[in-house]
Amino acid sequence: MRKKYRDLKRKGNVVVFPTTINRLLTEGMTLLKQERYEEARDGLYQVLTYEPEHPAALGAYSYCLYELGDYEEALEVCRELLKVGPIHYLETMELYISILMQVREFEEAERVIEALIDEKVLPEERLEQFQLLRDLNDRIASKSIERIDAEQYTPEVFLTLNPYEQERRVMELPPSSFKPLKNKLLALVEHPDIDLLAKTYILFIMQQEGIQARFQIHKFHYFGEFNILDLSDPQESPLVNEIKGIFAEELAKDPTRLEMANELFERHVYLFYPFLMDDYEPKEVAEAYLSYLDFLFTGETDQAGDADLQNLIIRAEMWFETRNG
């Protein structure tokens, strides 16, 4: 089986003459010009086994993969090339955009094209070409959305699915479809019986897509009204990071229990989202989770903590157990 780019390793102390690399590169480029893409791909791979960051070889290798329909690996190689610094920048960006369109990452393709146009890095003779590429990307994205059956995202249909199927149905949607489906997805978020994690994923992606909308949501004892644009990534929340900092300090000598505390807490953060338990002090939350872990290990309950908070943690774990069957 042919190895992939991610499998490449440097040759350590093996000395390779520059003439060897140049010869392999020339042979690969010749095969590429002759449109013998499989042979060219394999020849260029040999160059990359010696120099995994060789810009010319990466560019040609990525193009071969694109022509052969191996879009996922072509995207990986092209992204690596952009990190290294391509020799032919505009040609590489055009290839990158084409690959993004093939793997249906239309939003990323749109962002790249807009950045190139806005930054005025395109010469006049290439500007129209990239504008046409943007229009093509928009048309393909629109057709992709048109193929989605919007009725499958109504509460009536969603409630016929089990929780995992609801979550998967949301995760399978291309992000570009969230704006056209905004009202239906918000109805799912606001419905009391839709899976809580499915709601979380809807809100995450809507926030990432910059969708303007207000919504109401109920999770456990929490109820609130939010603006999607005001939502934040819980990993960047000062409160969440402060609580995890307390875990790290208290369990510095017990890495196993520290890992368990972080995993338990993060699972609940995503379950409760967009609520972040900010009705409690960080130390209070951290102590409740540490107390719950002590209970799991010893079977003894600490009566000193906030009973409502400890009950919330237990209810969250029971929710996962019920969902997992």
Please give the pLDDT value at position 12: 45
Please give the pLDDT value at position 135: 72
Is 63 in contact with 84 (CB distance < 8 Å)? no
C-alpha 60/C-alpha 42 separation (Å) is 11
Task: Please give the angle made by the CA atoms of 233, 241 and 220, to the nearest 5 degrees.
Answer: 65
Q: What angle, rounded to 10 degrees, do the helices at 196-208 and 255-272 form?
A: 80
Please give the pLDDT value at position 10: 45
Which pLDDT tens digit goes with each residue over 164-181?
999 988 988 877 788 888
Average pLDDT, whole number, for the chain? Answer: 85
The residue with tokens 């995760």 is 171
Please give the pLDDT value at position 9: 45
Answer whether the bond into residue 180 is a cis peptide, omega within 30°.
Answer: no
Does residue 145 carry a pLDDT above 80?
Answer: no
Percent of the chain with pLDDT over 90: 48
C-alpha 198/C-alpha 175 separation (Å) is 14
Strand pairing report for 214-219 and 222-227: antiparallel
Is 278 in contact with 253 (CB distance < 8 Å)? no
CB contact set of 170 (below 8 Å; sequence gap of 6+): 185, 198, 201, 202, 205
Average pLDDT over residues 238-242: 92
CATH architecture of 5-145: Alpha Horseshoe (1.25)
Burial of 170 (0-12, 13-18, 19+ CB in 10 A): buried
Average pLDDT over residues 276-305: 85
pTM above 0.75, yes or no: no
pLDDT band for 217, please (50, 70, 90 cuts): very high
Please give the pLDDT value at position 282: 93
Which pLDDT tens digit goes with each residue over 111-134?
887 787 777 766 666 666 666 766
Which pLDDT tens digit goes with each residue over 58-113?
999 999 999 998 888 999 999 999 998 888 888 888 888 888 878 777 777 778 87
**Quick one: DSSP state of residue 274?**
T
pLDDT band for 3, please (50, 70, 90 cuts): low
Which pLDDT tens digit goes with each residue over 252-272?
999 999 999 999 999 999 999
CB contact set of 185 (below 8 Å; sequence gap of 6+): 153, 170, 178, 202, 206
Please give the pLDDT value at position 319: 95
Burial of 73 (0-12, 13-18, 19+ CB in 10 A): middle
**Smallest Cα–Cα separation from 250: which of 289, 308, 280, 281?**
289
Please give the pLDDT value at position 39: 92
Please give the pLDDT value at position 11: 47
Taking each continuous run of H as one helix and of E as one strand, the counts in the chain are: 15, 2
Please give the pLDDT value at position 265: 95
